Amino acid sequence: RKEVEQDPGPFNVPEGATVAFNCTYSNSASQSFFWYRQDCRKEPKLLMSVYSSGNEDGRFTAQLNRASQYISLLIRDSKLSDSATYLCDTGGGATNKLIFGTGTLLAVQP
């Protein structure tokens, strides 16, 4: 099993839709969790940190489920500009390796 797994998609959704992605991780000692956004041929950029209590920023909500070892990202009222690849990153704890998932491609359709 890969250390971090994501559904590669693509997720094709209409404008205004709500869409959710999950990211599962195998290292139960992981302490830090982040969602990044990557536009085509660009560098990844931090979207949100994921805390145990959840984290909301406008239309974006990130949550952590330690028992089932996954993090989630919810996007409400999708915009065309949300089209990108969303990457999750887990690490810390007992390991210094920061491992990414393969990314989930979101395509918001007009």
Residues of the shown chain interacting with other proteins in the complex, contacts defined by CB under 8 A? 6, 8, 31-32, 34, 41-46, 49, 87, 89, 91-92, 96-103
Closest CB to other proteins among residues 12, 32? 32
100/90 Cα distance (integer angstroms): 7
Phi, psi of 90 (to 5 degrees): -130, 150
110/101 Cα distance (integer angstroms): 28
Closest CB to other proteins among residues 17, 107? 107
Task: State the nearest-atom distance from the C-beta of 110 to other proteins, in Å.
Answer: 26
Q: Whose structure tokens read 């918001």?
A: 108
The beta-strand segments (E) located in the chain are 4-6, 11-14, 19-25, 32-38, 45-49, 55-57, 60-65, 70-75, 84-91, 99-100, 104-109
Closest CB to other proteins among residues 19, 50? 50
Closest CB to other proteins among residues 82, 89? 89
Task: State the nearest-atom distance from the C-beta of 15 to other proteins, in Å.
Answer: 27
Task: State the nearest-atom distance from the C-beta of 33 to other proteins, in Å.
Answer: 10
The DSSP secondary-structure symbol of 102 reads -
Task: State the nearest-atom distance from the C-beta of 38 to other proteins, in Å.
Answer: 9
